[in-house]
Amino acid sequence: MAEKRIVKAAAVQISPDLDSGEGTLARALNALGEAADKGAEFVVFPETFLPWYPYFSFTRPPVAIGGEHLRLYEHAVTVPGPVVDAISATARRRGVVVVLGVNERDHGSLYNAQLIFDADGSLKLKRRKITPTYHERMIWGQGDGAGLKVVDTKVGRVGALACWEHYNPLARFALMAQHEEIHAAQFPDRWWGRSSPTRSRRRSATTRPRAPVSWSTPRAGSPTSSAPRSSPTKRCARRSPAAA
Active-site positions read 47, 129, 163
CB 162 within 8 A of CB 132: no
223 prior amide bond cis, ω within 30 = no
Cα separation, 181 vs 177, in Å, equals 11
DSSP line for 46-92:
PTT-BS---THHHHS-GGG-HHHHHHHHHHPBPSSSHHHHHHHHHHH
One-letter identity of residue 64: A
At 241, give phi and psi (nearest 5°).
-85, 15
Residue 211, helix vs strand vs coil: coil
- Residue 146, number of CB atoms within 10 A of its CB: 10
Tell whether the torsion through CA atoms of 134, 108, 129 and 99 is positive or negative. Answer: negative
